Amino acid sequence: MLASNMRNYVDDYQRLRPVYEAFNERIKDLLTFLINEKRIRFQLIESRTKSIESFKDKIIRKGDNYSNPLVEMTDLVGIRIIVYYIDDVDKIERILKEEFIIDDENSVDKGKLLKTNEFGYQSVHYVVKLTKNRKNLPEWEKFSNLKAEIQIRTVLQHSWASISHELEYKKKYEIPSMLQRKLFRLASFIEIADEEFINVRNQHNEIVEKIFRGKVEGNDLDQVTLEELNSLTLKNYIKESPHTELIEREAKRAGFTIIPIRADYKDDKYIAEIINHCNYLNIKTISELDKVLENLSEKYFALFKAQKEASKGKWTSNATFLMLLLIIYLNIKNIKDVSFLKQEGWGTTTAERVLYVFRKRDFQ
């Protein structure tokens, strides 16, 4: 390509780049919406519009391979979708095939390029353009001739690619032979780990189904799993235990405003804190926790009343946080100062007040 032509193309791209940036944002928003609609969890959707300098460098690198880089360069707009599980890559592929026209010639599954005895960079790259129906929409009309490259990879695949790129190895032939085996062994571990994480997720879902909905049949969970104190069993205990109703009732009587526990509640922060305090108290099972709370139940009202009076204002809470207050009271001897609660995200004023009340008052 003649230098004069290159200058013209660079000038054209500089002039048109705002349109590509707008297209980038619109595609990113659309993909985010579509993926959320399918309830596919993802870690990150990131995007970039190729810089003027990168555009120029690629023309120089490719030389006469381009007759018109603005048309032939398919990665001026780039979107990367990073998901947790390898089977979610397939789900997003289906979305792309349903919602866009795929440029098959320029799309590639990097993993499928590897031979059966090879390990290495794995990622799915799709070059897409708008369907006729979407082009006809007024808000998409100005992007009708543009393309975007969409990469899909798992968190683990992304970590391998990021580290190898950080080492400045973007191509296999750039890697010193003495390091190739190590990097490819790591890639094989990542491939195995991606498969195993699906198994872990499926087992997790099975446990959730059993604990929360009692739907697992045949390969049933043993009693040890159901009794173990963990985030799943504790959430279910709070949802189902008669102590929850008692805790809410006594706290309300003491002046708290109560938010009812929903079936899908996600008080993970408070759940984790309860388990942490239980570890200090050597409470390892749901039965042990139930017994401890049963022994404390006659003090519920007095404990909540003392905290409410000290707060000097409206205190809105739910059963999970209220149970946390009770466990803090039980664990008070192991809490040396407010730093114990502050590391869990408590504000200094609230932490100091809660500890002061439980230490000062005699609830015997």
Q: How far apart are CA 322 and CA 326, in angstroms?
A: 7
Domain ranges, ordered by start, for the chain? 3-193, 226-360
Write down the pLDDT at residue 250.
95
Structure token digits, residue 327: 């466990």
Instruction: Quote the pTM value.
Output: 0.62
Picking from 105, 80, 106, 95, the residue whose alpha carbon sits closest to that of residue 131 is 95
- For the chain, give me the number of helices (H) and strands (E)? 16, 8
Write down the pLDDT at residue 248.
93
| Length in residues, the chain | 364
Residue type, 165: H
Lowest mean pLDDT among 44-53, 132-141, 267-276, 313-322: 267-276
Pairing outcome for strands 257-258 and 147-154 = unpaired
Q: Between 117 and 297, whose confidence is greater?
A: 297
**Could you give the residue ranges of the DSSP H alpha helices within 63-126?**
69-72, 86-99
What is the CA 309 to chain-centroid distance, rounded? 39
Q: How far apart are CA 228 and CA 223, in angstroms?
A: 8
Q: How far apart are CA 192 and CA 61, in angstroms?
A: 36
Picking from 66, 191, 59, the residue whose alpha carbon sits closest to that of residue 121 is 191
Write down the pLDDT at residue 113.
43
**3-193 is classed in which CATH architecture?**
2-Layer Sandwich (3.30)
Write down the pLDDT at residue 329.
95
Q: How far apart are CA 93 and CA 102, in angstroms?
A: 10
pLDDT tens sequence across 42-89:
999 999 999 999 988 888 887 767 788 888 888 999 999 999 999 999
What one-character DSSP code corresponds to residue 209?
I
pLDDT at 35 over 90: yes
Q: Which helix (H) or strand (E) holds 151?
A: strand 147-154
Average confidence (pLDDT) over 175-197: 75
Q: Give yes or no for a contact between 315 and 258, defined as CB atoms under 8 angstroms apart.
A: no
Report DSSP letters for 212-280, one per residue: II----SSPPPHHHHHB-SHHHHHHHHHH-HHHHHHHHHHHHTTPEEPPPPTT---HHHHHHHHHHHHH
Contacts of 227 (CB under 8 A, 6+ apart): 233, 285, 286, 287
